[in-house]
Amino acid sequence: MWEVFVRSRRGLSHTHAGSLHAPDAEMALRNARDLYTRRSEGVSLWVVPSAQITASSPDEKDAFFEPAGDKPYRHPTFYEIPDGVHHL
């Protein structure tokens, strides 16, 4: 099982498009091209073995993400913007 990520245009991020079965990376890439970019929707593909993806558990979201909440410097409201600075 492989996870497929497609970048639709240069300058944009890759986004998860779906999953597919393939015996190896080369075949996964070819199958992803045929399945997810049939109408020229992409300029770049990534295929990643599903077993190699590690994800956080939705059940542990409060405990996992809580430490970031006590760091006010991560929020842009903490900084003062000088009067002469525009377009931030």
Asked, for residue 83, whether it belongs to a domain, the answer is: no
pLDDT at 8 over 80: yes
Task: Name the residue with tokens 């639709």.
Answer: 8
pTM of the predicted model, to two decimals?
Answer: 0.66
* CATH number of residue 71's parent domain: 3.10.20.520
More confident residue, 88 or 38: 38
Asked, for residue 13, whether it belongs to a domain, the answer is: yes
Asked, for residue 62, whether it belongs to a domain, the answer is: yes
Domain enclosing residue 48, as ranges: 2-78
Asked, for residue 86, whether it belongs to a domain, the answer is: no
Residues 9 and 43 sit within 8 Å (Cβ to Cβ)? yes
Asked, for residue 28, whether it belongs to a domain, the answer is: yes
In the chain, how many domains are there?
1
Lowest mean pLDDT: which of 18-27, 48-57, 59-68? 59-68
SS3 46: strand
pLDDT at 47 over 90: yes
Instruction: Give the residue from 6, 26, 25 showing the smallest Cα distance to 15.
Output: 6
Asked, for residue 87, whether it belongs to a domain, the answer is: no
The per-residue pLDDT for range 10-30, each reduced to its tens digit, is 878 999 999 999 999 999 999
Residues 49 and 20 sit within 8 Å (Cβ to Cβ)? no
* Residue 66 pLDDT grade (very low, low, confident, very high; cuts 50, 70, 90): confident
Asked, for residue 70, whether it belongs to a domain, the answer is: yes
